[in-house]
């Protein structure tokens, strides 16, 4: 099958490479000439485990190509996958400028039947806008060509996107067009050989399904974070509570880990967009509004703990930071809790030295020389008054506590991901401040 993918971000590049991997011929289109130049040179502009060899292998085999030529790309594929960004507007609505521009480009250059697939995360009703944009371009050309518009939202986790695409837990396809449904089933047949994973529905239900899924997961995160704050005040241990409620099969363990809030390119944007979509439809999503408020507050839990321990004025203090990306397995710092914590610390006069296995280049772009950077986790600790852990990278899970204590000026650890057992830190002579785990004997105050 010949496929055109419009957009080479996380979704577009992963989709293009994975579709090529199963034998399709794929052309990826992007207006960013620099990015296309990098991809043609074998360089991957994003950090995603397993993606680089996948792209290299399929490019070398001639199944995956990259171009900035819209006319060439639209003429190439009977399937046109739109995978461009939909950043939030100031009011929280998804900005569909790039989606509509892609649709217009398809209408401007198509020369036969096309199945146009919305893979970008878009609000309900976007398929109608795409359909109108294509029809308007065809009318301007004075031609009449058949096409179908399909909603096929992605459910890829950053850090596991290749695995998620190759072994999906579900494939949502929204269309009322019989031929388009047949083509989509053929497209995804290689990815569901052992059981049927494709769920066929109408377009608007498919569009809403993506937002609903992310909003549900964000809700679980914010609920657990609020429960963790209660547990800490009530003298309970949220990790035991998590195990207790997760054992209920109606609840399960996924997304029940307390922490310092969610970030990234999806949850914050999609929650805002869904609230906006509901408001436009005359519906109030009060639960999601509370989820958003709770998440914004949770991103400041670590700085509040630091202030309680060291005082309001942090001038002359230095803090080591482990983890900058919003989650492990990616270099994405969009809406990352680390950004809020760093700004809070800098605003109080503190110095920050950070380490992250993948996000250091992005951190340098965001913060420049406002913070220091270490080339290893332990190196970040030198002369620091305390360590703050923000991202749960595997290499942070089992440090040498004796070495950690020796390097810190004050043996204090603020753990935003509950990586360690309080008893282990106590035996190592380290003050430990996790999330949602009562610390009845922990010292307070600004003393050094």
Cβ neighbours of 383 (radius 10 Å): 11
CA of residue 230 relative to chain centroid, distance: 27
Q: In what order do the strands lie in the sheet with 64-67?
A: 64-67, 25-29, 2-6, 79-82, 114-118, 147-151, 171-174, 198-201
Query: At residue 327, what are phi and psi to the nearest 5 degrees?
Result: -155, 165
- Residues 99/82, Cβ–Cβ less than 8 Å: yes
Instruction: Give counts: helices (H), strands (E), the chain.
Output: 17, 14
The Cα angle at residue 16 between residues 12 and 18, in degrees rounded to 5: 120
Per-residue exposure over 327-364, b if at least 16 CB sit within 10 Å of its own CB, e if not = bbbbbbbbbbbbbbbbebbbebebbbbbbbbbbbebbe
Name the percent of the chain in helix, strand, coil, to the closest 5: 45, 15, 40
- Residues 55/39, Cβ–Cβ less than 8 Å: yes
Pairing of strands 372-373, 351-355: parallel
Best CA proximity match to 435, nearest among 423, 418, 412? 418
Cβ neighbours of 217 (radius 10 Å): 17
- Residues 120/83, Cβ–Cβ less than 8 Å: yes
For 107, the token pair is 């209408």
Active site residues: 266
The Cα angle at residue 236 between residues 231 and 242, in degrees rounded to 5: 75
């Amino acid at each position: 099958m010949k496929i055109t993918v419009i957009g080479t971000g996380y979704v577009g590049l992963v989709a293009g490479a994975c579709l090529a991997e199963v034998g399709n011929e794929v052309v990826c289109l992007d207006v960013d000439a620099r990015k296309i130049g990098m991809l043609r040179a074998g360089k991957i502009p994003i950090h995603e485990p397993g993606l680089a060899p996948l792209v290299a292998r399929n490019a070398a085999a001639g199944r995956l190509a990259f171009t900035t030529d819209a006319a060439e790309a639209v003429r190439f594929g009977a399937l046109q996958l739109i995978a461009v960004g939909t950043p939030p507007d100031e009011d929280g609505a998804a900005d569909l400028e790039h989606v509509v521009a892609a649709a217009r480009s398809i209408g401007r250059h198509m020369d036969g039947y096309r199945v146009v697939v919305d893979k970008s995360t878009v609000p309900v009703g976007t398929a109608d806008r795409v359909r109108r944009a294509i029809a308007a371009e065809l009318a301007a050309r004075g031609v009449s060509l058949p096409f179908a518009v399909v909603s096929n939202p992605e459910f890829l986790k950053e850090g596991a996107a290749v695995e998620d695409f190759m072994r999906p837990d579900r494939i949502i396809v929204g269309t009322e067009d019989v031929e388009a449904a047949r083509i989509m089933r053929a497209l995804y047949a290689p990815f569901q050989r052992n059981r049927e994973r494709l769920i066929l529905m109408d377009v608007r239900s498919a569009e809403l399904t993506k937002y609903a899924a992310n909003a549900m997961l964000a809700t679980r995160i914010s609920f657990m974070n609020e429960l963790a704050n209660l547990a800490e005040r009530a003298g309970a241990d949220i990790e035991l509570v998590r195990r207790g409620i997760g054992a209920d099969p109606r609840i399960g363990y996924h997304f029940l880990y307390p922490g310092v809030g969610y970030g990234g390119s999806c949850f914050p944007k999609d929650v805002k967009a869904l609230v906006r979509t509901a408001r436009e439809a005359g519906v109030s999503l009060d639960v999601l509004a509370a989820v958003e408020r709770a998440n914004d507050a949770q991103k400041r839990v670590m700085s509040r703990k630091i202030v309680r321990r060291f005082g309001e004025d942090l001038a002359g203090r230095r803090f080591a930071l482990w983890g900058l990306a919003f989650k492990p397995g990616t270099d994405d710092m969009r809406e990352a809790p680390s950004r809020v914590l760093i700004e809070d610390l800098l605003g109080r006069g503190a110095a920050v030295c950070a380490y992250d296995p993948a996000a250091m280049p992005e951190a340098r772009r965001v913060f420049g020389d406002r913070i220091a950077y270490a080339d290893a986790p332990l190196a970040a600790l030198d002369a620091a008054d305390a360590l703050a852990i923000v991202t749960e990278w595997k290499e942070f899970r089992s440090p040498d506590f004796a070495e950690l204590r020796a390097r810190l000026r004050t043996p204090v650890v603020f753990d935003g991901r509950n990586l360690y057992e309080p008893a282990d830190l106590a035996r190592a002579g380290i003050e430990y401040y996790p999330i949602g785990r009562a610390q009845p004997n922990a010292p307070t105050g600004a003393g050094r």
